[in-house]
Amino acid sequence: MVTTMNGLLHTLKIFSHGLPNNVETQEGLAVFAEYMSGSLTVKRLKKLAYRVIAVDSLAKGYSFSKTFGLLNDTYNVDKETAFYITLRVHRGGGFTKDYLYLTGLKKILDYFNEGKDMSLLLTGKVSLEYVHQIEYLIKNGYAIRSKHITDSFSNNNNTNKTIDTILNGLK
């Protein structure tokens, strides 16, 4: 919501419509906000990981039933959950956005841990790969700094060391 509201403040509509490849950054920011606010659970991370596995199986050409079997038989996901994850990924010929949640989170975590300016990522529907261009646009008056900032990026309220260990292991 923060990036949507900030994006609408710009004269350049690309900030509200979305820069190329913005979905990975936007989804990464959403999961990062869950993490920083202390709301990200192991159960939620597992669900995201199972979705990544399902997307990978789809990309490999697995059928609906083979993806379901992979989740249920190999990863011991209960039948109902495995069915809904498989359905989500296979709908409409393939829904691969779920793959981006964890890749986006990893990139956002790296950016944050390098001490970079998180407010640049809140200027609209932007992508990490355009941070330098966003800085240029702001510096030269073509864009504005984020008016709305999420409090969840200010302090790391995650106290779950298991979550930290898992996130530190993301590749």
Cα separation of the two ends of the chain: 28
State pLDDT tens for residues 44-81: 999 999 999 999 999 999 999 999 999 999 999 999 99
Domain range holding 36?
Answer: 2-13+21-166
In a domain, 171, yes or no: no
Number of structural domains, the chain?
A: 1
User: With contact defined as beta carbons under 8 Å apart, do 96 and 111 qualify?
Assistant: no
In a domain, 50, yes or no: yes
State pLDDT tens for residues 92-140: 888 888 889 999 999 999 999 999 999 999 999 999 999 999 999 999 9
User: With contact defined as beta carbons under 8 Å apart, do 79 and 87 qualify?
Assistant: no
Q: pTM of the full predicted structure?
A: 0.90
CB within 8 Å of 100: residues ≥ 6 apart? 23, 24, 27, 28
pLDDT bracket for residue 170 (50, 70, 90): confident
Q: How far apart, in whole angstroms, are the C-alpha atoms of residue 107 and residue 96?
A: 18
